[in-house]
Structure 1
Amino acid sequence: MSVGIEIDDGLARITLRRGAAGNAIGLDMARGLLHAARVCATESVRAVLLTGEGTSFCVGGDLGEFSRLSGEPLERHLIAVTGALHDALRTFAAGDAPMVAAVQGAVAGAGIGLAASADVTLAADNASFTTAYTRIGYTPDAGVSWFLPRLVGPKRALDLLLTNRRVAAAEAETIGLASRVVPADRLAAEALRTAEALRDGPTAAFGATRRLVATGQTADLGPHLDREACAIAAAAASAEGREGVAAFLGKRAPDFPPAAPST
């Protein structure tokens, strides 16, 4: 399997398992990510941790696989690859469980899309990011043209997409492409610690917060304030909200109820 998934006590650990190939995304890996996303949507998953084996997180599409085709068969193949990959991104985004991505080494092409789609992206200090698409005459996929302008601004996004310059981990943190940078030898431990902390948090509140942030990017202020009011009222009346307030007033750690399956 090019994508592994393990679920333990509400934490789903998804691993890209083509380390020798830089975790390049072909049809099998795209379908593996979609399968993993669907498992997360149907199990009681409270947080997701996405990692890649080997020295690089993900170098983008599997150009070796793509180069074996041409013309209409290549177009059909790319539609199948991006269809599965994009359905995976939609499925992850639709759920309540927050995602942590731990990235190291090369993060290119669709790898940037995977990293950017996470709620928390931890970058090893040896990570470097490059969009790479236009260098080979391709255009973005994996949500890169959607995520980048929202994370770094449209002007900087076009700089990255058109020049394909490499962005070191420190700059990625500065411009908002990475949440924070950690030493490479601490990446795995810090990512797991972060994912476990989210796993133990209020999953439904996390989901509502994720949706508020996503819709707030394009919403007018007035309607968005109405959505915020409805969301906080529902959260306060929920079992999570009652437990959170009781724990705060009782000066103890909260014990939030487990997440219900999304479907």
Structure 2
Amino acid sequence: MTSRIRYRGAGGAAYITLARPDRRNSLDLATLDELGRSVRRARADDVRVVVLAADGDAFSVGGDLVAIAAADDREQYVEDLAETLHRAITELHNLEAVVVSVVTGVAAGAGVALAAAADVVLAAHSARFSIAYTKVGLSPDGGTSLLSASLGLHRALYLALLNPLLTAEEAMTAGLVAEVHPDDELPAAVERVVGTLLTGSRTAQVVAKRLLRCASSPDPAWVMRREALTIRAAVGSADAQEGIAAFLDKRRPRFPSAGGSSAGDAG
């Protein structure tokens, strides 16, 4: 099977790249299994910096709805998907390395959660962000709930409930993105950040990462477990069935719980 994740080590840094551009780096179980193995390889290699990036015109559009729709047991598949993603994110949080995500193109759903799992988020001017779960009748996972600590409760609720498509600059204003650069200047900016981290005090960086993450969310594992159980229940709902079908059919959903109105209808 073709690798869905590329791993490269160089000078104390590990570069982990989502390599499924034909599917806009959507996240199925095989991709997330490979992601977890790559993060564990970075730990074994004792790198100081991990750079998480993606091939193609999207960072990641989130969970692979085609794979979810095709699963014999959607509830079990989506729980397995969430738990596998959550293990990888927990391992990123616990690395004794600074994690830098590099977002080009669209990050949606779990793609936003994965980008936000990094300690520092860099974005191209072309990047766009949308939480998007409720657009298909699903509840957030991937640690999206943790964004309430970094963005503020009401801003996080706004993003989760109305699903606006944020520009890179808007995401930076919201507090999700640290730096925005023109697309052609982003690679140089990434190497500058990596170089700064590699020449800094590893001891201080690791302690700072632990302290700030603990202060923002004392028990992220519990938060993500609750997300996994919630999305498992949500995917079996009539709303999720309609939302996923509408997404695959490229039409607006008519959620049963909304009385059959299409998303965006006035009433």
TM bucket normalised to smaller: 0.7 to 0.9
CA–CA distance in structure 1, aligned partners of residues 194 and 75 of structure 2: 37
Q: Residue 216 of structure 1: CA displacement?
A: 2.1
Identity %: 36
Aligned position for 1:214: 213
Q: 2:15·2:51 contact (CA, 8 Å) conserved in 1? A: yes
Matched, 1:100 2:100: yes
Change (3 A) 1:64 1:218: closer
Q: Residue 32 of structure 1: CA displacement?
A: 1.0
Select 1:66's aligned residue among 62, 68, 83. 68
Unaligned runs of 5+ in 1: 220-263
Q: Residue 202 of structure 1: CA displacement?
A: 1.8
Aligned position for 2:54: 52
Matched, 1:80 2:80: yes
Q: Render the CA deviation track for 1:193-248: whole Å, top value 9, x for unaligned.
A: 212321232222211100111122367xxxxxxxxxxxxxxxxxxxxxxxxxxxxx
Secondary structure in 2 aligned to 1:13?
strand
AA at the equivalent of 2:212:
V
Q: 1:109·1:132 contact (CA, 8 Å) conserved in 2? A: yes
Select 2:30's aligned residue among 28, 42, 45. 28
- Which segments of structure 1 move beyond 4 Å, counting only runs of 4 or more? none
Matched, 1:128 2:112: no
Matches within 5 A, 1:230-241: none
TM-score by structure 1 length? 0.79
Q: Render the CA deviation track for 1:160-192: whole Å, top value 9, x for unaligned.
A: 101111111111111101001100111122112
Q: 2:28·2:64 contact (CA, 8 Å) conserved in 1? A: yes
Secondary structure in 2 aligned to 1:194?
helix
Secondary structure in 1 aligned to 2:58?
coil
CA–CA distance in structure 2, aligned partners of residues 45 and 100 of structure 1: 13
Matches within 5 A, 1:240-255: none
Secondary structure in 1 aligned to 2:15?
strand
Q: Residue 151 of structure 1: CA displacement?
A: 1.9
Aligned position for 1:184: 183
Q: 1:49·1:192 contact (CA, 8 Å) conserved in 2? A: no
Unaligned runs of 5+ in 2: 219-267
Secondary structure in 2 aligned to 1:57?
strand
CA–CA distance in structure 2, aligned partners of residues 200 and 218 of structure 1: 28
Aligned position for 2:18: 16
CA–CA distance in structure 2, aligned partners of residues 26 and 110 of structure 1: 11
CA–CA distance in structure 2, aligned partners of residues 215 and 62 of structure 1: 31
CA–CA distance in structure 2, aligned partners of residues 103 and 40 of structure 1: 20
Secondary structure in 2 aligned to 1:189?
helix
CA–CA distance in structure 1, aligned partners of residues 195 and 4 of structure 2: 24
Secondary structure in 2 aligned to 1:76?
helix
Secondary structure in 2 aligned to 1:4?
strand
CA–CA distance in structure 1, aligned partners of residues 77 and 198 of structure 2: 36
CA–CA distance in structure 1, aligned partners of residues 139 and 64 of structure 2: 15
CA–CA distance in structure 2, aligned partners of residues 217 and 57 of structure 1: 25
CA–CA distance in structure 1, aligned partners of residues 215 and 67 of structure 2: 39
TM-score by structure 2 length? 0.78
Give the alignment's Cα RMSD to 1 decimal. Answer: 1.3
Secondary structure in 1 aligned to 2:6?
strand
